[in-house]
Structure 1
C-alpha cells in the first residue's frame, strides 16, 4: 500500500524540479 503523504511529497518534488529546469531555460533564453 502506497502512503498518500509519501506520494504527494514525491509528486511535489518532481513538480518543483521540473519548474526549476523550465525557469533556467527561460532565463537562458533571455
Structure 2
C-alpha cells in the first residue's frame, strides 16, 4: 500500500511540474 501511495505522490508531482513548465512557456511566448 505504501508503494501505491508513493506512486500517486510522484505522479501528482510530475503533473503539477508539467503544468508549471507549460505556464512558463506560454508566459515566455506571450512576452516575445
Shorter chain as denominator, the TM-score bin is 0.7 to 0.9
Q: Which has the higher helix share?
A: 2
List runs of 5+ in structure 1 lacking aligned partners: none
Higher gyration radius (CA)? 2
Equivalenced residues, count: 30
4+ residue runs over 6 A deviation: none
List runs of 5+ in structure 2 lacking aligned partners: none
Instruction: Give the superposed CA RMSD.
Output: 1.5
Give the TM-score, by structure 2 length.
0.83
Give the TM-score, by structure 1 length.
0.87
